[in-house]
Amino acid sequence: MADTSDFRNGMILKIDGKLYSIVEFLHVKPGKGGAFVRTKLKQIPDGSVIDKTFRAGEKVEEVRIVRRPFQYLYNTGDLYYLMDQETYEQVPVAKSILEDSLPYLKENMVVTVLMDGDKPLAVELPTFVELAVSETEPGVRGDTAQGGSKSATLETGAVITVPLFIEVGDVVKVDTRTGRYIERV
Nearby residues of 14 by Cβ (< 8 Å), 6 or more positions away: 20, 60, 61, 62, 63
As a whole number, mean pLDDT of residues 72-90 equals: 92
The pLDDT-based confidence of 72 (bands split at 50, 70, 90) is very high
- As a whole number, mean pLDDT of residues 68-92 equals 92
Residue 172 reports pLDDT greater than 90: yes
Q: For 174, phi and psi rounded to 5 degrees?
A: -125, 140
Residue ranges and CATH numbers for the domains of the chain are 2-62 (2.30.30.30), 66-124 (2.40.50.140), 129-184 (2.40.50.140)
Name, of 11-15, 80-84, 91-95, 115-119, the range with top average pLDDT: 80-84
